[in-house]
């Protein structure tokens, strides 16, 4: 009897220890997740602040360039107003490093157009993590950018002095424009490095968070499994599923972060260009020069339109269900050719087709996306130095698969780029594409269990071979 009581007390004691372990583990998880979320929130606030910093810097440069051409004092005032944004962030950075009064820091960040509700987290992250590698590296990039902003400020002063003294001739103006361009390019690199560094830091923190979460979850599961062996099996199965979902979510979040960052920059670039061209057009009297500006605007809008179409294709492929039904390849090829008739150089290209297989069982929408993107690429990357520009489209059967070949004698693909052409946002020439076309082709083919191969030689041409299952869906 006494032995029974002893073991009962021992089990009760173990249960008490188990509850303490579970309680402490849960408490630590809550605390760790709270501070991790706080870090991630502050990091995102810094990235958002960088976008204001970057935009204001670019707008300041734009106003300064217009001021050089027009000598309009309103442009000089706008330049100084926009420059106050990165200068405000610079004041906040110096004040943080020197442990100045918090009011000075807040005033600087507010001048940098940061949200007031983010300031507590932003200041907290800087003060507590400034020596951590990713944050120290980001602060270094920030300091370099602030030094360049300071150079831009004094250079602007020199320009204003030259304008007011009427010493601004064409030679000096060209020299100043070159200097502005160099400063702006350096700033763009620092701004991009700043965001990328913080992005890498947040990804590292996410990874540590997952490891810590898994560690404490294992402790909790192990403790509970002491008494509930059946629940352990279920928890292990559930844990594996959660880990897989976490890994998938990390991949998806990473792709989404890259996608949003790249799309936001690619969408903003033509808009900034258009704003500058519109301002220049307003001030121009020469009809020939106005037509030139309008041509540049049209080119920028066409690039924006293609980019938006690529995003729409990407979205359709992701969310629309696969619909398998009879599809005419001949009809899709004719539609694709017609759709690209008005592309630059399209009227100079001889397009031939050899349709040995017409009707297939597949998804019409996705085949259309694939053909349109491949034909668009072939037209974009023609070799204008050749006397005859050729594109051929061929369909045929190969065993249990249908094949579509698109061959051109364009500029081809250099060997070092071949492994990257299907990556999202990878471009060889940013003036010719968004970097989404071939990525969408690959993603779309994966949806219908197909694949793509490329054979290319620089300055000779390229051949893309699309393979899709025969009688797919049956």
Q: What count of other Cβ atoms lies within 10 Å of the Cβ of residue 56?
A: 22
SS (H, E, C) the chain: CHHHHHHHHHHHHHHHHHHHHHHHHHHHHHHHHHHHHHHHHHHHHHHHHHHHHHHHHHHHHHHHHHHHHHCCHHHHHHHHHHHHHHHHHHHHHHHHHCCCCHHHHHHHHHHCCCCHHHHHHHHHHHHHHCCCHHHHHHHHHHHHHHHHHHHHHHHHHHHHHHHHCCCCCHHHHHHHHHHHHHHHHHHHHHHHHHHHHHHHHHHHHHHHHHHHHHHHHHHHHHHHHCCCHHHHHHHHHHHHHHHHHHHHHHHHHHHHHHHHHHHHHHHHHHHHHHHHHHHHHHCCCCHHHHHHHHHHHHHHHHHHHHHHHHHHHHHHHHHCCCCEEEEEHHHHHHHHHHHCCCCCCHHHEEEEEEECCCEEEEEHHHHHHHHHHHHHHHHHCCCCCCCCEEEEEEEEEECCEEEEEEEECCCCCCHHHCCCCCCCCCCCCCCCCCCCHHHHHHHHHHHCCCEEEEEEECCCEEEEEEEEECCCCC
- CA–CA dist 141, 371 (Å, integer): 44
Query: Quick one: tokens of 474?
Result: 């049956």
Tens of each residue's pLDDT in the chain, 474 residues: 444 444 444 455 666 776 787 778 788 778 777 777 877 788 888 888 888 888 988 999 999 899 888 888 999 999 999 999 999 888 988 988 888 888 998 998 898 888 888 888 888 888 888 888 888 888 898 889 889 989 989 988 988 888 888 877 888 888 888 888 898 898 888 888 888 888 787 777 777 777 877 777 777 777 666 655 545 665 687 778 787 877 766 765 555 554 444 444 445 555 665 667 687 777 777 788 877 767 767 766 665 565 566 556 555 556 677 788 888 999 888 888 877 776 667 778 888 989 999 888 888 888 888 888 888 888 888 888 888 989 999 999 888 889 999 999 988 888 888 888 888 767 765 555 556 778 888 888 888 888 999 998 888 899 999 999 875 544
pLDDT value of residue 321 = 77
Nearest to 392 by CA among 348, 352, 335, 332: 352
- CA–CA dist 364, 358 (Å, integer): 13
Its CATH class, for the domain covering 322-469, is alpha beta
pLDDT value of residue 243 = 79
The model's pTM = 0.42
pLDDT value of residue 356 = 92
pLDDT value of residue 445 = 87
Strands 451-457 and 389-398: unpaired
Query: Quick one: tokens of 304?
Result: 């924006």
Nearest to 19 by CA among 232, 226, 234, 210: 226
Residue given tokens 């150079």 in the structure block: 151
């Amino acid at each position: 009897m006494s032995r029974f009581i002893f073991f009962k007390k021992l089990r009760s004691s173990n249960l008490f220890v188990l509850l303490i372990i579970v309680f402490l583990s849960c408490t630590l998880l809550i605390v760790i997740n709270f501070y991790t979320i706080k870090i991630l929130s502050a990091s995102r606030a810094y990235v958002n602040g960088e976008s204001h910093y970057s935009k204001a810097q670019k707008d300041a440069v734009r106003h300064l360039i217009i001021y050089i051409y027009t000598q309009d004092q309103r442009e000089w005032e706008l330049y100084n107003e926009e420059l106050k944004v990165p200068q405000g962030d610079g004041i906040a950075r110096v004040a943080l490093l020197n442990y100045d009064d918090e009011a000075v820091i807040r005033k600087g960040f507010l001048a940098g157009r940061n949200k007031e509700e983010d300031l507590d987290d932003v200041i907290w992250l800087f003060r507590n993590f400034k020596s951590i590698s990713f944050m120290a590296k980001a602060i270094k990039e920030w300091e370099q950018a602030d030094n360049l902003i300071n150079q831009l400020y004094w250079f602007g002063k020199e320009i204003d002095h030259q304008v007011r003294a009427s010493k601004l001739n064409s030679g000096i103006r060209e020299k100043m424009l070159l200097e502005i361009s160099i400063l702006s390019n350096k700033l763009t690199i620092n701004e991009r490095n700043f965001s990328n560094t913080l992005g890498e830091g947040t990804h590292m923190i996410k990874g540590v968070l997952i490891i810590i979460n898994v560690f404490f979850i294992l402790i909790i599961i192990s403790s509970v499994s002491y008494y509930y062996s059946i629940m352990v099996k279920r928890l292990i199965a559930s844990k594996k599923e959660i880990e897989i979902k976490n890994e998938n979510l990390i991949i998806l979040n990473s792709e989404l972060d890259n996608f949003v960052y790249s799309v936001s920059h690619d969408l903003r670039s033509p808009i900034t260009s258009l704003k500058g061209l519109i301002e220049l057009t307003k001030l121009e009297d020469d009809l020939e020069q106005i037509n030139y500006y309008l041509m540049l605007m049209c080119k920028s809008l066409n690039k924006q339109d293609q980019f938006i179409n690529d995003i729409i294709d990407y979205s359709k492929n992701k969310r629309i269900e696969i619909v398998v039904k009879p599809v005419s390849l001949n009809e899709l090829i004719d539609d694709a050719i017609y759709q690209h008739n008005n592309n630059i150089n399209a009227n100079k290209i001889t397009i031939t087709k050899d349709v040995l297989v017409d009707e297939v069982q597949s998804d019409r929408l996705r085949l259309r996306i694939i053909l349109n993107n491949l034909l668009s690429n072939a037209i974009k990357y023609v070799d204008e130095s050749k006397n005859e520009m050729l594109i051929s489209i061929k369909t045929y059967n190969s065993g249990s698969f249908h094949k579509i070949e698109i061959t051109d004698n364009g500029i081809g693909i250099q060997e070092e780029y071949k492994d990257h052409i299907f990556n999202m946002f990878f471009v060889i020439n940013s003036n010719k594409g968004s970097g989404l076309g071939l990525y969408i082709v690959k993603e779309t083919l994966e949806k219908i269990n197909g694949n793509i191969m490329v054979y290319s030689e620089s300055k000779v041409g390229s051949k893309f071979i699309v393979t899709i299952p025969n009688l797919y869906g049956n």
